[in-house]
Amino acid sequence: MTQPAPTEFDLFHLKENYVNHIIDGMDVDTLAQLAHDFLMDDYEKLTWDEVTEEIVNLYDEDTLVDLIPDAE
């Protein structure tokens, strides 16, 4: 007897189970590095105006001022 072909639902859950398996094997430092890398990949695509607007919208103007690098 042959098995039916996996569905999109099956594939989604296989991926989800695999991701959870990977995460379960990581320590906190590795998880933090992974989060950093994923966030940097997303934010590298944004312009200065887009990043500053998001910071102000999610936090406030004071946070934006605190995060702007000092000119050297």
Task: Give tens-digit pLDDT for 33-51.
Answer: 999 999 999 999 999 999 9
Examine residue 1 and state whether it is found in any structural domain, yes or no. Answer: no
Residue 9 has pLDDT above 90, yes or no: yes
For residue 69, pLDDT over 60 is answered with yes
Segment 53-63, tens digit of pLDDT: 999 999 999 99
Tell me if 41 is assigned to some domain: yes
Q: Which residues contact 67 (CB under 8 A, 6 or more apart)?
A: 55
Domain limits for position 50: 28-67
pTM here? 0.68
| Any domain includes 20 | no
Q: Is 8 part of a structural domain of the chain?
A: no
Count how many domains the chain has. 1
- Whether residue 61 lies inside any domain: the answer is yes
Q: How far is CA 56 from CA 41, 44, 67, in A?
A: 20, 18, 11
Q: Name the nearest CA neighbour of 37 among 48, 26, 50.
A: 26
